[in-house]
């Protein structure tokens, strides 16, 4: 997977927390990328009604409270898929071999079970959880 | 991920179950690929002492009983890594921004937790489990 998902989480934290509204340019500076990459991400987040452009003003507005916005919702918006895909299965096992004929549904089931557990983890984590962990991380590093 | 992992599981089932020992060529026919791809896989499995070439004969021998050979051991051998890697994190968040400075360790922790759960699933599943499921799948399709 590319880094759009973690960049989207970073973007959402900025939109949620920044005192002054941030433009794509401002966000790009913090994420460490270019504004067009951020615009692609904000476009996808808008499409799923997670954020909107502020009316008659610069920057964006979060439409879902951070405690209700799960990482799974962010993932779905950014990857444009409902499924986390971890494992690929070989496409052409030989139907004339007894193993070849039956392995795909079995592997598919097993892999899907694992992928669903990963999806569940993302469903159980909200943007607020990430921000709370970041605050703890900040306190820890300030104490050093 | 590419399909080497599922191809390796397919290969191991053949090595474990075939009445007559199978060469890379035979295995390639069942997996639906070419013999050099299978030789790459069997080479990696040999390196981790999961299989060996049969002495003075064709084919391979499984060195670990199917009930003890976990899918995680197969994964480690094939991917040559101990970690399942699902999520990438953006590499250059801006240190001068409070979010940029603290987001990487937090995202890293959260993603690693999810990846470890996926690893645990592979640790809890053996080659025998896959074969048992395949047998059930065969019975089911025979009844149709």
- The model's pTM is 0.89
What confidence tier does B2 reach under pLDDT thresholds 50, 70, 90?
confident
**CB distance B9–A100 less than 8 Å?**
no
The tens digit of pLDDT for each residue in B8-62 reads 999 999 999 988 899 999 999 999 999 999 999 999 999 999 999 998 888 999 9
Please, which pLDDT band fits residue A45 given cuts at 50, 70 and 90? very high
Q: For the residues B110-139, what does the mean pLDDT come to?
A: 95
Mean pLDDT of B111-135: 96
Residue A56 predicted with pLDDT over 90: no
Domain positions in chain A: 4-143
Query: Given an 8 Å threshold on Cβ–Cβ distance, is A86 in contact with B88?
Result: no
The percent of residues in chain B predicted with pLDDT above 90, rounded, is 82
Which own/partner pairs from A112-119 qualify as long-range (CB within 8 Å, at least 24 positions apart)? A113/B121, A114/A86, A114/A87, A114/B118, A114/B121, A114/B122, A115/A83, A115/A84, A115/A85, A115/A86, A115/A87, A117/B117, A117/B118, A117/B121, A118/A84, A118/A86, A118/B86, A118/B114, A118/B117, A118/B118, A119/A72, A119/A83, A119/A84
Contact state of B121 with A121 under an 8 Å Cβ cutoff: no
pLDDT score for A93: 94
Residues of chain B with pLDDT > 70, as a percent, come to 99
Per-residue pLDDT tens over the stretch B66-80: 999 999 999 999 999
User: Which whole number is the average pLDDT over B98-110?
Assistant: 92
Checking if the pLDDT of A1 tops 70, the result is no
Report which secondary-structure segment, H or E, holds A77: helix A71-79
| Interface predicted TM-score (ipTM) of this complex, two decimals | 0.89
Contacts of A91 in chain B (CB under 8 A): 3, 32
Are A7 and B105 inside 8 Å of each other by CB?
no
The larger pLDDT score, comparing residue B1 to residue A8, is at: A8
Confidence of residue B143 (pLDDT cuts 50, 70, 90): confident
Q: What is the average pLDDT score of chain A?
A: 94
Q: Measured between beta carbons, which residues in chain A are less than 8 angstroms from residue B91?
A: 3, 32
Question: What pLDDT shows up at residue A114?
Answer: 95
Q: What pLDDT is stored for residue A143 in this prediction? A: 82
pLDDT at residue B1 in the model: 58
Inter-chain CB proximity A93 and B32 less than 8 Å: yes
| Number of alpha helices (DSSP H) and beta strands (DSSP E) in chain B | 6, 2
Residue B142: per-residue pLDDT: 82
Q: What value does the mean pLDDT take over residues A100-106?
A: 92
**Do the beta carbons of residue A31 and residue B117 sit within 8 Å?**
no
Give residue-wise pLDDT tens across range A13-31.
999 998 889 999 999 999 9
CATH 1.10.10.10 for domain A4-143, yes or no, is yes
Partners of residue B9 in chain A, C-beta under 8 Å: 103, 107
């Amino acid at each position: 997977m590319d880094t759009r998902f973690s960049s989207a989480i970073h973007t959402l934290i900025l939109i949620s927390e920044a005192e002054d509204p941030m433009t794509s340019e401002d966000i790009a500076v913090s994420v460490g990328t270019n504004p067009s990459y951020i615009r692609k991400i904000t476009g996808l987040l808008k499409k799923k009604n997670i954020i909107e452009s502020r009316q008659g003003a610069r920057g964006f507005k979060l439409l879902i409270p951070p405690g209700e916005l799960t990482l799974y919702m962010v993932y779905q918006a950014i990857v444009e898929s409902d499924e986390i895909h971890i494992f690929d299965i070989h496409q052409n096992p030989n139907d004339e071999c007894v193993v070849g004929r039956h392995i795909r549904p079995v592997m598919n089931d097993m892999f899907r079970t694992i992928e669903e557990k990963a999806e569940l983890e993302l469903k159980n984590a909200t943007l607020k959880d990430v921000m709370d962990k970041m605050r703890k991380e900040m306190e820890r590093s300030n104490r050093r």
